[in-house]
Amino acid sequence: DFIKEFAAHPHYKAPRGNKLHAKSWQTEAALRMFLNNLDAEVAENPDELVVYGGIGQAARNRESLEKIIQVLLELDENHSLLVQSGKPVGVVRTHPQAPRVMIANSNLVPAWADWKHFEELRERGLMMYGQMTAGSWIYIGTQGILQGTYETFVSCGNKHFDGDLRHKLLVTGGLGGMGGAQPLAATLAGATFLGVDIDPTRIQKRIDTRYIDKMTYSYEEAIQWVMEAKEKGENLSVGLVGDIGDVLERLIQDGITPDVLTDQTSAHDPLNGYVPNGMSLEEALQLRKDNPELYKEKSIKSMARHVELMLKLQEKGAVTFDYGNNLREFARQGGCENAFNFPGFTPAYIRPLFCEGKGPFRWVALSGDPEDIYTTDQALKEAFPENDHLIKWLDEAREKVAFQGLPSRICWLGMGEREKAGLIFNDLVRTGKVKAPIIIGRDHLDCGSVASPNRETESMLDGSDAVSDWPLLNLMSNTAGGATWVSFHHGGGVGMGYSQHAGQVILADGTDRADECIRRVLYNDPAMGIFRHADAGYDKAKEVGDNFGMLI
């Protein structure tokens, strides 16, 4: 009956309200968040179980989906479910403070860790791609990356434009699940925005969720709109249907140099993500099926051309950076030798935040009631009255962010702050100020949870970019600390062979048990960022670590 009601293809929907379907809130929370990842308002392609980021899935197939639901409905607090690349494979004996679900997605032994080998296994139904929050059931729609993107653009403005992005044109490609956050983040930061996507349905989704202002198929019309807005200092956002390479070429021909240039096409996956230049979307989808090798070849060549054009615009003065999709690496493979001549966004803008243990803290109201999120917003404003940046963000988010699926919120919080916020939320549940428990999680893109040498750990001070002991220690700390579910993935963000990363999600259900788990997990999780960056030699991380008396 549950499957009929909440998981009937294609209308996945998490239950709302405070009635339990599972045996405890720990498993109910996992169940609701699993289904929420596949809600059509949240996921990019729920029919294929794809949540975001190319082919990032929540479950391996329909059969696995139904089995996960069935186990979660029956699981008690002395057992935990094991999920292997989206398939439930067993239940182990644990205890009430242990994670209820332990997930490993897309992991391969290093010498086999490439797309080719992964695709063979995927074809045979043996694996799925978990991306970061798709396979770990804590994707919250485009808002999930919104504040990080906003922080990045603001930081770029501070560094290059005296803190003012008005009268500045920001150009990018890709308006999918994550990339779709760019227009709203850019306009919140004051810029004029032009985003290019080959797939009109993706831009339409951003219009529907109020992430982007206008859409057009005409280059001329888009340019007229954005140049007028830039002139007037208006923070307008425009989505143009087309190939990003072609649009960059036109900009160069027309002598238009963006002030800021980046990209979030799904370049991490040359087969099931990036669309090669010179083909319609339909032709590309057909070629993907008919001749995957030729597709990949064309895709990698197109990425080389794309990056060549970005480099030309960089030479003309555009502040250019890679936005975490591994575009530079595939461009290099396609023959663009100096593809790494522009930096990645982490060393350029985000690392100082990581050194304070800051990262994408997010939470979801399991009641389904937006008022519960507004209650948490208010509680955070009262808890951090000195943090103007946070308060401005919470106010803007309330006004401008449309919820997708279960109501949720994100804000970057650091060492000490996450634990404080978690305990406050647990208290809101305990005292009935919110209508049902709250789930707290984060992206795998965090300060101490990921090894990704072309992204989060690019250009580490001590050269330890590729050391992946850190995300494993993160996973172990969060498992031992008592997160409600934990995950370890390979290939998120940048594709197979290029990253390993861990996730955690923790329940605030108003119990003393939750207080204890929150005190451990929301201390350990940002602490890993401090340990990681202090060990690599960053002074800021050492200073924060000393303040908390946590360095050994």
Catalytic center residues: 411
How near is the Cβ of 253 to ligand NAD at its closest, in Å?
A: 18
Which of 15/135 has CB closer to ligand NAD? 135
In this structure, are residues 518 and 474 in contact, taking their beta carbons and an 8 Å threshold? no
**Member of 244, 319, 401, 406 binding ligand NAD (CB under 6 A):** 244
Which of 227/281 has CB closer to ligand NAD? 281
Q: Which residues pair with 261 in a beta bridge?
A: 171, 320
Only segment of 58-66, 168-176, 186-194, 446-454 that touches ligand NAD (CB under 6 A): 168-176
**Member of 15, 46, 99, 177 binding ligand NAD (CB under 6 A):** 177
Only segment of 4-12, 232-240, 318-326, 504-512 that touches ligand NAD (CB under 6 A): 318-326
The count of chain residues that interact with ligand NAD, using the rule CB under 6 A, is 33
Residues 94 to 153 in contact with ligand NAD, rule: CB under 6 A: 145, 148
Using CB under 6 A as the binding rule, whether residue 325 contacts ligand NAD is answered as yes
Q: Which residue is nearest to ligand NAD (CB)?
A: 176
Which of 12/139 has CB closer to ligand NAD? 139
How near is the Cβ of 363 to ligand NAD at its closest, in Å?
A: 19
Q: Among candidates 66, 62, 59, 61, which has minimal Cα distance to 5? A: 66
How near is the Cβ of 200 to ligand NAD at its closest, in Å?
A: 9
Which of 482/497 has CB closer to ligand NAD? 497
In this structure, are residues 191 and 386 in contact, taking their beta carbons and an 8 Å threshold? no
Which of 275/366 has CB closer to ligand NAD? 275
Q: Which residues pair with 192 in a beta bridge?
A: 169
DSSP track, 328-397: HHHHHHTT-TTGGGS-BHIIIIIHHHHTTT-EEEEEEETT--HHHHHHHHHHHHHH-TT-HHHHHHHHHH
Residues 179 to 218 in contact with ligand NAD, rule: CB under 6 A: 179, 196-199, 202
Residues 31 to 50 in contact with ligand NAD, rule: CB under 6 A: 44
In this structure, are residues 238 and 216 in contact, taking their beta carbons and an 8 Å threshold? yes
Separation of alpha carbons 222 and 241, rounded Å: 10
**Member of 176, 258, 471, 497 binding ligand NAD (CB under 6 A):** 176
Phi, psi of 22 (to 5 degrees): -90, -175
Which of 85/346 has CB closer to ligand NAD? 346
Separation of alpha carbons 314 and 140, rounded Å: 34
Can you say how many angstroms the Cα of residue 81 is from the centroid of all Cα atoms in its chain?
24
Query: What is the three-class DSSP state of 322?
Result: strand
Instruction: Please report how many Cα atoms fall inside a 13 Å half-sphere around the Cα of residue 426, on the Cβ side.
Output: 22
**Member of 22, 212, 215, 267 binding ligand NAD (CB under 6 A):** 267
H or E element: which one contains 83? strand 79-84
**Member of 169, 275, 390, 439 binding ligand NAD (CB under 6 A):** 275
Those residues whose C-beta lies under 8 Å from the C-beta of residue 536, and which sit 6 or more positions away, are 460, 461, 462, 464
Which of 33/348 has CB closer to ligand NAD? 348
Q: Give residues in contact with ligand NAD (CB under 6 A).
A: 44, 52-54, 145, 148, 173-179, 196-199, 202, 243-244, 264-268, 273-275, 323-325, 445, 493
